[in-house]
Amino acid sequence: MRKFLVLSGILLSGILSAQNNLLNAESPEDFYTSTDEEREINNDQPLEYGYIAKRDVLWQRVVWETIDLDERVNFPLLYPLDDRLGDGRRSLYQVLTEAARNDEIKLYGDSYFTQAKTAGEVEGSLSLTRISDRGTEILNENFIVYNDSVPMMDIDTVYNIPDFDQYVEETKINPSDVKSYQIRGVWYFDARQGELRYRLLGIAPMVIDVAAKAGVTADTGAEVALFWVYYPNAREILHDAKAFNSGNSAKPISFDHLLNSRRFNAVITKVDNVYGDREIGEYISDNSMMRLLEAERLKEDIRNFELEMWNN
């Protein structure tokens, strides 16, 4: 009984220390202000990956998957959609884009990490400014050929058209426009440990194409990869950012832990193959049910490898 009470006290103190001073706040402004002691306790680092010698990798398969954010199990990667909570909690999209803007992570344009991408290019993908149809009509009525070198917000003064600003539309990509995440990882059989393991290599937020959202293109449902991040280089940032823990809000989960432990549902879109890593959709193009069945078949092939190792 005494041991139980001691253990309960330790667990309780850990939970209380994780509540960001919520119970000890003197004012609402202190709700999410950590004490020096709490900051010292929480000053940890992500668990380092162990070194895997090439000779210990008996078998491997590189896999690309889609994490659909419409699935309830994946909601911790989607929410919150704004900053009104006041506790500093952000969505995975907000964490990654903020790190990209601050040049804290290196960005790539493809899942093979061969094409570098700049923060400026990402910013250009997040917003689009255009003249509305009515604004175009007004320019035509005044026989004005718009010069791209003139900022749209200066058209009223440059071309002497009063209040033209109201015809300039700006479309922005918001956290709610993130529909899924593409991830690339490798399943491998560790001969030393004698088990099948997974290592996440890259992640990319898939957002609605800003041109499609603005109505410039016909395909309003088009999604594009905003950028790719080499996951091991982003672990510290994702370790510091916390996702909501629906089981115990006093113990939030770091995005690094959530992703590394695969606490999400994903569907395979392709695996490395002799056909130039072609996607499932390239050889099963007109039947979505068959694509899902093919993804499940590939998943089972990977899952069964460990079992077959011990049964043969």
Asked, for residue 157, whether it belongs to a domain, the answer is: no
Residue 131's nearest CA partner among 94, 104, 156, 106 is 156
Question: pTM (2 decimals)?
Answer: 0.81
Band (238; pLDDT cuts 50, 70, 90): very high
Asked, for residue 165, whether it belongs to a domain, the answer is: no
Tell me, yes or no, whether 33 and 66 share the same domain.
no
List, in sequence order, the alpha helices (H) in 147-222. 155-158, 210-213
Strand partners, 62: 186
Tell me, yes or no, whether 37 and 116 share the same domain.
no
As a whole number of Å, the CA-based R_g of the chain is 25
Compute the distance between CA of residue 284 and CA of residue 272 in angstroms, rounded to an integer.
16
Tell me, yes or no, whether 106 and 208 share the same domain.
yes
Tell me, yes or no, whether 4 and 121 share the same domain.
no
Tell me, yes or no, whether 23 and 54 share the same domain.
no
Do 38 and 20 contact (CB within 8 A), yes or no?
A: yes
Tell me, yes or no, whether 242 and 288 share the same domain.
yes
Residue 67's nearest CA partner among 274, 270, 268 is 268
Each residue of 13-22: pLDDT tens digit? 443 344 456 6
Cα-Cα-Cα-Cα torsion 265, 107, 187, 194, nearest 10 degrees, comes to -120
Question: How far, CA to CA in Å, does 229 sit from each of 122, 128, 176, 266, 304?
Answer: 12, 23, 20, 18, 30
Tell me, yes or no, whether 249 and 300 share the same domain.
yes
Each residue of 24-64: pLDDT tens digit? 666 665 555 555 565 565 667 888 888 889 999 999 999 99
User: What's the confidence (pLDDT) of residue 4?
Assistant: 42
Tell me, yes or no, whether 69 and 216 share the same domain.
yes
Band (218; pLDDT cuts 50, 70, 90): low
Higher pLDDT, 153 or 15: 153
Would you say residue 282 has pLDDT above 50?
Answer: yes
* Domain hosting residue 1, numbered range: 1-43
Tell me, yes or no, whether 90 and 181 share the same domain.
yes
Structural domain tally of the chain? 2
User: What's the confidence (pLDDT) of residue 6?
Assistant: 41
**Average pLDDT of the segment spanning 107-132:** 89
Tokens of 239: 């370790």
Asked, for residue 18, whether it belongs to a domain, the answer is: yes
User: What's the confidence (pLDDT) of residue 60?
Assistant: 94
User: What's the confidence (pLDDT) of residue 20?
Assistant: 53
Asked, for residue 149, whether it belongs to a domain, the answer is: no
Asked, for residue 297, whether it belongs to a domain, the answer is: yes
Compute the distance between CA of residue 141 and CA of residue 135 in angstroms, rounded to an integer.
10
Would you say residue 85 has pLDDT above 80?
Answer: no
Tell me, yes or no, whether 198 and 260 share the same domain.
yes
Tell me, yes or no, whether 108 and 8 share the same domain.
no
Higher pLDDT, 3 or 78: 78
User: What's the confidence (pLDDT) of residue 254?
Assistant: 92
Asked, for residue 145, whether it belongs to a domain, the answer is: no
Span of 4-13, 81-90, 121-130, 276-285 with lowest mean pLDDT:
4-13
Question: How far, CA to CA in Å, does 234 sit from each of 50, 75, 126, 272?
Answer: 17, 21, 21, 24
**Cis, bond preceding 80 (omega within 30 deg of 0):** yes
What are the DSSP calls for 217-252, one per residue?
Answer: SS-TT-EEE--EEEHHHHHHHHHHSEE--TT-TTS-
Asked, for residue 153, whether it belongs to a domain, the answer is: no
Q: Which residues of 224-255 are buried (b: 16+ CB within 10 A; e: fewer)?
A: bbbbbbebeebbebbbbbbbbeeeeeeebbbb
User: What's the confidence (pLDDT) of residue 168?
Assistant: 80
CB atoms within 10 A of CB 164: 20
User: What's the confidence (pLDDT) of residue 146?
Assistant: 73
Asked, for residue 274, whether it belongs to a domain, the answer is: yes
**Average pLDDT of the segment spanning 225-250:** 92
User: What's the confidence (pLDDT) of residue 21?
Assistant: 63
Tell me, yes or no, whether 199 and 59 share the same domain.
yes
User: What's the confidence (pLDDT) of residue 40?
Assistant: 60
Strand partners, 224: 207
